[in-house]
Amino acid sequence: MNLFQLSVAHRNSAHAVFDPAYSVFQSAPGTVNPEGWLYPHAEYECFLLRQMRKACERLKLKVGYPGTFHTPVSSVHFRRVMEPGPFSLRVNGTLSASFNGGELIAERQENDRFFFELNTPGILLLHVCVNAVESMLPTILPDPISGWEASIDGEHYEAACPGGNPFGDRFPVLRLNPAEYAPGRYDAGCELLSRVRIFSRRKPVFGFGESKFELENTDPVLSEQTLELNEIRSGVWETPDPLAFRYLRAEAENPVRVECDAEFTPVRYTGAFASDPELSRIWMSSAYTLRLCMRHFLIDGIKRDRLPWAGDLALSLLANAYSFADPEPVRKTLTVLGRAGIRKTHVNGIVDYSLWLLIAHDLYQRYFSDPAFLKRQYAEITDMVLVLLEQAGNGFLPCRDYPADWLFVDWVRSQHAPEREWSNAEKQTTLQIHFFWALNSAAALADRMNDPLLAGRCRNKAEQLKQELLNRAFDPAAGLFRANTDNPSCGFYRHANYYAVLSGLITGQEAQAVMRRLCSPTLPPVGTPYQEALEILAMIRTGCHDAALATIRRIWGGMLKLGATTFFEAYDESLTGNSIYAFYNRPYGLSLCHAWSAGPAALLPILLFGCEPASDGWRTFRVAPSPLLRDGDAATVPTPLGEIRLWMENGQLHQEIPAGAVRID
């Protein structure tokens, strides 16, 4: 691809690019090529999560990570039907082997490589063990890598899954030199996740921050990440792990030099969006926010949590689909979050996050079309659905199924007690509508797997919920859903109402009427850009384009006016000064790079062009041009089939559609 092959959207948005690792032509920076190590299903993903949780401890991140997660095993079995001849493989761990039931002795050479000579066809069985205390995985790197099965217990085998290095994969880095804007103060120009290296004869006074306010903190107790510096060689000081920051402070008596090794997952910007300067920058900053949070998994934020959450995934999955269209971090996130099931606790220990995981599975198939992955995950999905149906019985889904569970939804203050978060009673209707949504997603997954029994159970329960909610939660006088079906004093919140639109609980004129009411400021606002993105999507679905665009400019444009290059975990327009950066009752607690705030990467192409898949993998798709479209507006939407290119020129909508995709509107 050369410059002249770039889409109109890529060309027209070039002025908004600031990502130091930006690339349209190829994945950058560098590449990561897994060698083809083999694992049982989900073992590599669970190992990566364990490594990430250990890194959180090293960095002294102030994050709690509730829920039940599978612990990687220390013993794995592999088998394969073999043909006569020589065979070799690398092994991580202690190996024992048998062939056609008899012990097989292998010749071991350097780099943990084993050589076999097989004289007859037969079944090769391998057993690989590691010390359970060590941070590594039992695995093999065979030649050939195809045809292998893996098992944890030695009895139940399934196809082995390829994965990365059993000691963990490191990300490519880009060497950057931040600019000194004041004595000892440096600006990287944008948010980074990076190791810092300081060249100084003596240990410098070190600080860093996502904001200049956070930069000046020197109190380890208040710091959101460790302030530790190690002298790796004489006169060279380095952070032990990558830090999230834009600004650096390195003060010393002698002159210092500062450099950053910024980590990036290799991707290319297959998607693009161009409009006026503000909207183009909002899209680019949304994509960059997501890009920094695309690690092995789609994580929530790079400063505090650095871990995968199912609610965050539902939004970041959409942003990914319109900017990078990279299925791998989505697959890994769905895999690791679903591995432990929900028979002990809900996903992430949060009731509504179990529901989000089912919805995310459905969205993943719609945007990426990966039937092989669905087949592999379907047993876990089925078990999750059955648990939810059991918990609900003939009524509503309980808001607290296990002692440690949490019903989250959003960070919102109670209307009746502004000093506290809203209560579970005030979230009741939202939870049940969310359950209705998840049941329909589960039914769609079952349809894909030709499982009419489970699909029927889900739809029957969803229909029961629909009737109960319409009869008991909807207030005809207010034209809105009440927060609680049995307690009118709980009042009204926005969430239940736009969930009703997005889930399909209400459609047509009823949905439009509800959203018109939400477009007025009579109800308290949502708490986060995460939920605001969902409300905007409901506005778009019901034709409230002006309100949707105004909200994007107000929230995300407001963050840009504060100098943001990535988007915040929460944004309160009423806050000023340093109070903007406080969260969780901590002065620097707010994450300024949060994937759940990357929604405009998807919202803007949907708002202006109405471009969405109508069937899995974009084989059919819709375009519904908005009255807001103007000459110069352009979007490039990446799909598994290629790029959908849309642009306005001389008052006409132009399009280029990849082979295999059909526009049906």
The pLDDT of residue 4: 63
Residue 275 pLDDT > 70, yes or no? yes
Query: d(Cα 237, Cα 197) in Å, to the nearest integer?
Result: 6
Question: Cis link prior to 418 (omega < 30° from 0)?
Answer: no
Residue 47 pLDDT > 60, yes or no? yes
The 8-class DSSP code of residue 40 comes to S
Residue 598 pLDDT > 70, yes or no? yes
What is the average pLDDT across 64-70? 93
| Average pLDDT value for the chain | 94
Q: What are phi and psi of 291, to 5 degrees?
A: -60, -40
What is the average pLDDT across 511-522? 93
Residue 101 pLDDT > 70, yes or no? yes
The model's pLDDT over 131-157, given as tens digits with 9 standing for 90+, comes to 876 678 999 999 888 999 999 999 999
Contacts of 469 (CB under 8 A, 6+ apart): 429, 432, 433, 436, 481, 485, 500, 505
The model's pLDDT over 175-202, given as tens digits with 9 standing for 90+, comes to 999 999 999 999 999 999 999 999 999 9
The pLDDT of residue 112: 76
The pLDDT of residue 33: 63
Residue 34 pLDDT > 70, yes or no? no
The pLDDT of residue 133: 67
Burial class (CB in 10 A: 0-12, 13-18, 19+), 525: middle
Q: Mind giving me the DSSP string for 253-283? A: SS--EEEEEEE---B----EEESSHHHHHHH
Query: d(Cα 11, Cα 417) in Å, to the nearest integer?
Result: 51
Residue 557 pLDDT > 80, yes or no? yes
Residue 84 pLDDT > 80, yes or no? yes
Q: Is the separation of the CB atoms in 494 and 526 below 8 Å?
A: yes
Residue 607 pLDDT > 70, yes or no? yes
Q: Is the separation of the CB atoms in 109 and 118 below 8 Å?
A: no
What is the average pLDDT across 241-254? 95
User: If you search the block for the tokens 């329960």, which residue do you land on?
Assistant: 461
CA atoms within 13 A on the CB side of 31: 5
Among 33-42, 46-55, 77-86, the least confident range = 33-42
What is the average pLDDT across 366-387? 98
Residue 658 pLDDT > 60, yes or no? yes
Query: d(Cα 197, Cα 212) in Å, to the nearest integer?
Result: 20
The model's pLDDT over 288-305, given as tens digits with 9 standing for 90+, comes to 999 999 999 999 999 998
Q: Mind giving me the DSSP string for 499-528? A: HHHHHTSS-HHHHHHHHHHHTSTTSPPPSS
Residue 111 pLDDT > 90, yes or no? no
Residue 358 pLDDT > 60, yes or no? yes
Secondary structure class of 80 (helix, strand, coil):
strand
Structure tokens at 553: 């400019």
Q: Is the separation of the CB atoms in 326 and 363 below 8 Å?
A: no
Query: d(Cα 329, Cα 251) in Å, to the nearest integer?
Result: 39
The pLDDT of residue 255: 81
Q: For 473-578, where are the alpha helices, taking DSSP H only? A: 494-503, 508-518, 529-541, 545-561
Residue 661 pLDDT > 70, yes or no? yes
Q: For 177-245, where are the alpha helices, taking DSSP H only? A: 212-215
What is the average pLDDT across 63-80? 94
